[in-house]
Amino acid sequence: MKYATIILLFSLSFNCQAREFFWQDIKVKAFLNKKGELEIKEELVAFFKGNFDSVTRFFHLPGNKDIRLKKFEVYNPSNDSWTLLTYGDLSKVNQYMIWNKGQYI
Protein backbone atom coordinates (compact mmCIF):
# COMPACT_ATOMS: atom_id res chain seq x y z
CA MET A 1 0.00 0.00 0.00
CA LYS A 2 2.87 2.36 0.71
CA TYR A 3 4.24 1.89 -2.82
CA ALA A 4 0.82 2.41 -4.43
CA THR A 5 0.48 5.79 -2.72
CA ILE A 6 3.91 6.91 -3.86
CA ILE A 7 3.25 5.80 -7.45
CA LEU A 8 -0.12 7.56 -7.48
CA LEU A 9 1.34 10.84 -6.22
CA PHE A 10 4.24 10.54 -8.64
CA SER A 11 1.95 9.99 -11.63
CA LEU A 12 -0.31 12.89 -10.60
CA SER A 13 2.60 15.29 -10.52
CA PHE A 14 3.36 14.55 -14.18
CA ASN A 15 -0.25 15.18 -15.29
CA CYS A 16 -0.46 18.64 -13.71
CA GLN A 17 -0.51 21.56 -16.09
CA ALA A 18 0.18 25.17 -15.25
CA ARG A 19 -3.02 27.18 -15.02
CA GLU A 20 -3.60 30.81 -14.21
CA PHE A 21 -6.81 32.70 -13.49
CA PHE A 22 -7.45 36.20 -12.17
CA TRP A 23 -10.02 38.99 -12.38
CA GLN A 24 -8.63 41.83 -14.46
CA ASP A 25 -11.63 44.15 -13.99
CA ILE A 26 -15.08 44.09 -12.37
CA LYS A 27 -17.83 46.65 -13.10
CA VAL A 28 -21.27 46.52 -11.44
CA LYS A 29 -24.38 48.62 -12.19
CA ALA A 30 -27.48 48.10 -10.04
CA PHE A 31 -30.92 49.75 -10.02
CA LEU A 32 -34.55 49.10 -9.07
CA ASN A 33 -36.84 48.54 -12.05
CA LYS A 34 -40.52 49.65 -12.24
CA LYS A 35 -41.63 46.46 -10.44
CA GLY A 36 -39.29 47.20 -7.54
CA GLU A 37 -36.96 44.35 -8.47
CA LEU A 38 -33.22 44.81 -8.19
CA GLU A 39 -31.52 44.55 -11.58
CA ILE A 40 -27.77 44.11 -11.72
CA LYS A 41 -25.48 44.25 -14.73
CA GLU A 42 -21.98 42.91 -14.21
CA GLU A 43 -19.02 43.08 -16.52
CA LEU A 44 -16.33 40.70 -15.36
CA VAL A 45 -13.04 40.65 -17.21
CA ALA A 46 -11.12 37.50 -16.37
CA PHE A 47 -7.79 36.14 -17.58
CA PHE A 48 -7.47 32.40 -18.18
CA LYS A 49 -4.27 30.62 -19.11
CA GLY A 50 -4.10 26.87 -19.40
CA ASN A 51 -6.77 24.20 -19.60
CA PHE A 52 -10.03 25.15 -17.81
CA ASP A 53 -13.13 23.01 -18.21
CA SER A 54 -15.41 25.18 -16.08
CA VAL A 55 -15.79 28.10 -13.72
CA THR A 56 -18.38 28.28 -10.92
CA ARG A 57 -19.91 31.50 -9.62
CA PHE A 58 -21.58 31.63 -6.19
CA PHE A 59 -24.26 34.18 -5.23
CA HIS A 60 -25.33 34.69 -1.61
CA LEU A 61 -29.13 35.15 -1.69
CA PRO A 62 -30.55 35.94 1.76
CA GLY A 63 -34.00 34.67 2.71
CA ASN A 64 -36.28 33.24 0.04
CA LYS A 65 -34.77 35.18 -2.88
CA ASP A 66 -34.23 33.97 -6.42
CA ILE A 67 -32.04 35.04 -9.32
CA ARG A 68 -32.92 35.20 -13.01
CA LEU A 69 -30.17 35.37 -15.56
CA LYS A 70 -31.20 37.49 -18.57
CA LYS A 71 -28.10 37.13 -20.72
CA PHE A 72 -24.67 35.54 -20.40
CA GLU A 73 -22.07 36.51 -23.01
CA VAL A 74 -18.37 35.81 -23.37
CA TYR A 75 -16.06 38.15 -25.27
CA ASN A 76 -13.25 36.75 -27.41
CA PRO A 77 -10.57 39.43 -27.94
CA SER A 78 -8.73 37.38 -30.57
CA ASN A 79 -11.54 37.95 -33.11
CA ASP A 80 -13.40 40.85 -31.39
CA SER A 81 -16.64 38.89 -31.05
CA TRP A 82 -19.25 38.10 -28.39
CA THR A 83 -20.68 34.61 -27.86
CA LEU A 84 -24.06 34.21 -26.19
CA LEU A 85 -23.96 31.28 -23.77
CA THR A 86 -27.05 29.10 -23.63
CA TYR A 87 -28.56 27.10 -20.80
CA GLY A 88 -27.86 23.42 -21.29
CA ASP A 89 -25.38 20.58 -21.19
CA LEU A 90 -22.09 21.43 -19.48
CA SER A 91 -20.26 18.82 -21.53
CA LYS A 92 -20.69 21.21 -24.49
CA VAL A 93 -18.84 24.47 -25.09
CA ASN A 94 -20.51 27.84 -24.36
CA GLN A 95 -23.30 26.51 -22.18
CA TYR A 96 -24.15 27.11 -18.53
CA MET A 97 -26.25 25.59 -15.75
CA ILE A 98 -27.92 27.11 -12.68
CA TRP A 99 -28.19 25.21 -9.39
CA ASN A 100 -29.85 25.81 -6.03
CA LYS A 101 -32.26 28.64 -7.00
CA GLY A 102 -29.51 30.53 -8.81
CA GLN A 103 -26.89 30.45 -6.07
CA TYR A 104 -24.43 28.68 -8.38
CA ILE A 105 -23.91 29.47 -12.06
Mind listing the pLDDT tens digit of every residue in the chain (105 residues)?
444 444 445 545 455 667 788 888 889 999 999 998 888 888 888 877 777 767 777 777 777 777 777 888 888 888 999 888 888 887 787 877 777 665 555
Q: Is 79 helix (H, G, I), strand (E, B) or coil?
A: coil
Smallest CA-to-CA distance from 75 within 41, 44, 105 is with 44
The answer to whether the predicted template modeling score (pTM) of the entire model surpasses 0.75 is: no
The pLDDT, as a whole number, for residue 29 is 92
Q: Is 104 helix (H, G, I), strand (E, B) or coil?
A: strand
Strand bridging mode 73-76 / 81-84: antiparallel
**CA dist., res. 22 & res. 25, Å (int):** 9
The structural domains of the chain, with segments of one domain joined by +, span: 18-96
**CA dist., res. 19 & res. 51, Å (int):** 7
